[in-house]
Amino acid sequence: MKVRVALVGHVDHGKSTVIGRLLSDTGQAREDRREKVRSTCESVGRRFEYAFLLDALEEEQSQGITIDVTEVNWSHGGREIVFVDTPGHREFLKKMIGGASRVDAAILVVDALEGLKDTFRRQMHVLELLGVRQRIILLNKMDLAGWKEETWEARRREVFETQGLDPRTTPVIPVAAWHGENLLAPSDQMPWYRGPTLAQALSALEPARPEEEAPLRYFVQDVYRKEEQRIFVGRVEAGTLRQGQRIRFFPEGRETTVRSIEVHGEDRDEARCGDAIGITLEDALYLDRGALGFSPDSPPRLSREVQADLFWLDSEPVLPGDRLRIKAGTQFAEARVERIDSELDCETFAVQENPSKICSFGKVWLKFDSPWAFDAFSECPPSGRFVAMKGFRALGGGRWLAPTSDGPASMPRTLPGQVVWLTGLSGAGKSTIAAGLKLRLLGQGIAATVLDGDELRQGLCKDLGFSLVDRAENLRRAAEVARLMARAGLVVITASISPLREIRERAREIVGTDSFLEVFVDCPLERCEARDPKGLYERARRGLLSEFTGIDSPYEIPLKPDVTLKTDVQDPDSCVRDLLGAVLARRADLNRRETQA
Amino acid sequence: MGKLQGEDAHLHALENESIYILRETYRTLPKPAILWSMGKDSSVMLWLARKAFFGRLPFPVVHIDTSYKIPEMIRFRDEKAREWGLDLRVSSNRAALADGMNPERGRLECCTALKTEALKSFLAEQGFRTIFAAIRRDEEGSRGKERVFSPRMTGSVWNYKEQPPEFWNGFQTEYPEDTEVRVHPILRWTELDIWLYIRKNRIPVLDLYFAREGRRYRSVGCAPCTGTIASQAGTLDEIIAELRTTKVGERSGRAQDQADRYAMQKLRAKGYM
């Protein structure tokens, strides 16, 4: 694979000259281009400018600068390299970031006489943010510095001291690019230098390793129809996708199996990182552009509030309350800048806590209107980074940080909430299912709680008895509390017998039918009585309890429950799995509705 | 599929990116059309598009006919359009042709009238807003500065000093309504990549590229302005071997490039492909 290498550095320190000279010395500059440059330079009476082999725009040649990123292929000693030449001006930072965001390594070019500029430190910071870890530093124009070792030593020390770089992994090579010294062969002018030449340093670089070890992340681009099939086209951003594997999608939520991998004209049972493919699924899932596929055992994080390292390129700074459009893969949504934690001052490079704005670099909390799927950049770079837009302009980007406990809200808020109302006879298995569901939801980062009937009885409802009237009032209060908790973003699971249709209908009205899920935990009375986990049936039969549902008080079975779980034939785990599917499907509906609203 | 190595891995990665770009565009941008000149590059782009959309192009294929094309190209066009079931649309700047426009009136003027103007008026007429063009960065200097997604100002003008940044491996596909966007799915491919891919997939190309009596077309355009190069390369293998060692520029046979030192920059700023 080709290694992509960005050239970055201050304007006029000789980035384009380095590449031009390499091309020229290895016979890889096209004759017609060389000829064009020769005549251009002659006509204006200047020396042959190797940089013009790259800087092809008229303005670039007349002003001697690089206006925009250029990509140039170069091969040497069996190594294939793509040089990405980037402009060095302050206002061109965004072009450098654009160019450097997809490289494996960077060459930083520094003028030996001028030394490190702020640009250098900014660019080092950007490379760090972008995750470009392989770096070569070229100390250029050593001819003008009299080929002196002291100059090299001093600059080298400056580099390592200010940047905290490791001298063993980051070579600082003294060169004179225009003269070709130390580029391909060791320089006779600088016999004191014993380190690698540029060509040697380049051959030690490694191409990017695709994120195959990372968990599967598959962003859906579009849905195509082929005959009766729906093909979800997209790209494997990380990990590996296999035919027959289990898969889940955010925000849809349900789990299914990959039926086939579709590549026109090819037979494929596996797709790797970077592959643009299509897939078909065993079950009919409602998926569209922006859906994120993952293996059920390694889901991405989900949250409405996410902390990020941000870089910002516009002249207008980022302010709290700004609305940004965030794009990661094909996932695209608006977010509000909730809080700015810190800013890096580009002049002094000091970190300022709680600043009022971000000009170039800083840490922010972004708040989305509905849950956002992401990974921390440190854990999975392809799904750990994003582009930030204002209107139709891409003005910045960044990487997600792993969640910490000091966010704007201490609870992971994954709105919207809902109420899962379990109804059924005593002993039907409501509490077991409620507890199981809560655990599964929490495991997916969805805040959930069980509204415990006994707890309500001991506090909020301790003035109530067990008559039908009091039981109705007890449930009305439970419904009100559930509604309030759901509004705060929780999935509230209630497990109460709630025997009467009228009571359950009232609860549905209180909560709102969109977020209310009536679940009939269905089990024949004989089975419940045989289980009798709390010994209540026995006490009722002995006349120690009155108005006990099923014995001397009616249970009206639900006519149209949202979910029915038959606990006499289904084991608790499979009940919980079914119920989880229904809760997630409802959640996806609510999400969609909220996003559209 | 096992792990791909070297050249295969490289072509596989290029193909994946191009397919991703084609699909991104089709989903997010309005009224697309794909430009086809029957040359090797746009033929590869067409091949990739057919692959991206499972054999059937969901948008029209546009050929801007200057009337000076080599007859073999037109035959090739019509044959493949039938075979692949393309929705082919051909357009010319009839007014300029009626007025007798030809390269002797000035090569840049001729290119602007018969290609740029023909393209622009055709797009306006048919309401296309998104154009796939098979340009490559390594073809010539000003194309080296291009973006994969290149939004145009009014009148298809390319503002090359203020281009949107392209971060990571994603692309900006959101633009104000009615923005004309040029999309370049094979921007990162080199001339050698194109030929390696043609060989690997046995993609049909014009015979003009293969040497006859010691000469071949390296780049194909209008008959009056396209010359042949001295070459013995009569097969795909020989073309690939030739490209690995040549120092002659790909477009050295293209007269319009030589008309002015910054000819292509000037042509392209006005909306040339």
State the pTM of this model. Answer: 0.73
Close Cβ partners of A199 (under 8 Å, ≥ 6 residues apart): A22, A76, A77, A183, A184, A185
- pLDDT over threshold 50, residue A556: yes
CB-based contact, B153 to chain A, within 8 Å:
no
Kindly list the residues from chain B whose CB atom is less than 8 angstroms away from the CB atom of residue A36: 261
Given an 8 Å threshold on Cβ–Cβ distance, is A264 in contact with B54?
yes
**DSSP for residue A364:** E
The residue type of A561 is P
Given an 8 Å threshold on Cβ–Cβ distance, is B248 in contact with A325?
no
What is the Cα–Cα distance from A500 to A502, expressed in whole angstroms?
Answer: 5
Range name among A56-60, A96-100, A342-346, A403-407 with the lowest pLDDT average: A403-407
Given an 8 Å threshold on Cβ–Cβ distance, is B54 in contact with A231?
yes
CB-based contact, B126 to chain A, within 8 Å:
no
Please provide the average confidence, as pLDDT, over all residues in chain B: 88
pLDDT on residue A409? 43
- pLDDT over threshold 80, residue A88: no
CB A494 within 8 A of CB A448: no
Find the CB nearest B252 among A32, A40, A71.
Answer: A32
Three-class DSSP category at B143: helix
pLDDT on residue B15? 97
Given an 8 Å threshold on Cβ–Cβ distance, is A392 in contact with B176?
yes
Kindly list the residues from chain A whose CB atom is less than 8 angstroms away from the CB atom of residue B13: 1, 274
CB A258 within 8 A of CB A247: yes
Chain A and chain B share a number of CB contacts under 8 A equal to 137
Kindly list the residues from chain A whose CB atom is less than 8 angstroms away from the CB atom of residue B16: 235, 274-276
CB-based contact, B84 to chain A, within 8 Å:
no
Range name among A61-70, A287-296, B4-13 with the lowest pLDDT average: A61-70
CB-based contact, B169 to chain A, within 8 Å:
yes
Find the CB nearest A97 among B16, B167, B188.
Answer: B167
**DSSP for residue A361:** E
- pLDDT over threshold 70, residue A596: no
CA distance A574 to chain B (A): 36
CA-nearest residue to B19 within chain A is A276
Find the CB nearest B168 among A102, A262, A270.
Answer: A102
**DSSP for residue A314:** S
* Mean pLDDT score, A269-273: 94
DSSP code per residue over A204-249: T--PPPPS-SSPPEEEEEEEEEETTEEEEEEEEEES-EETT-EEEE
Nearest to A299 by CA among A252, A333, A369, A336: A252
- pLDDT over threshold 50, residue A410: no
Given an 8 Å threshold on Cβ–Cβ distance, is B144 in contact with A71?
yes
DSSP code per residue over A5-19: EEEEESTTSSHHHHH
What is the per-residue pLDDT across A99-123, written as a single tens digit (0 to 9) for each? 777 888 999 999 998 877 777 887 8
What is the per-residue pLDDT across B70-98, written as a single tens digit (0 to 9) for each? 889 999 999 999 999 999 999 888 888 88
DSSP code per residue over A338-358: EEEEEEE-TTT--EEES-S-B
Kindly list the residues from chain B whose CB atom is less than 8 angstroms away from the CB atom of residue A58: 261-262, 265
pLDDT on residue A413? 39
Given an 8 Å threshold on Cβ–Cβ distance, is A56 in contact with B140?
yes
User: Looking at per-residue confidence, does A14 or A597 come out higher?
Assistant: A14
What is the Cα–Cα distance from A493 to A487, expressed in whole angstroms?
Answer: 13
What b/e string do you get for B39-76 counting C-beta neighbours within 10 Å, with b at 16 or more? Answer: bbbbbbbbbbbbbbbbeebebbbbbbbbebbbeebeeb
Partners of B89 in beta bridges: B62
CB-based contact, B55 to chain A, within 8 Å:
yes
Q: Which of A11-15, A119-123, A518-522, A537-541 has the highest average model confidence (pLDDT)? A: A518-522
Partners of B152 in beta bridges: B180
Kindly list the residues from chain A whose CB atom is less than 8 angstroms away from the CB atom of residue B163: 68, 95
Partners of A136 in beta bridges: A107
What is the Cα–Cα distance from B37 to B73, expressed in whole angstroms?
Answer: 8
pLDDT on residue A92? 58
Given an 8 Å threshold on Cβ–Cβ distance, is B167 in contact with A268?
no
Range name among A18-22, A181-185, A237-241 with the lowest pLDDT average: A18-22
Ranges of residues in chain B with a pLDDT under 70 are: 1-3, 258-259, 261
- pLDDT over threshold 80, residue A405: no
pLDDT on residue A412? 38
CA-nearest residue to B4 within chain A is A1
Nearest to A327 by CA among A394, A381, A253, A412: A394
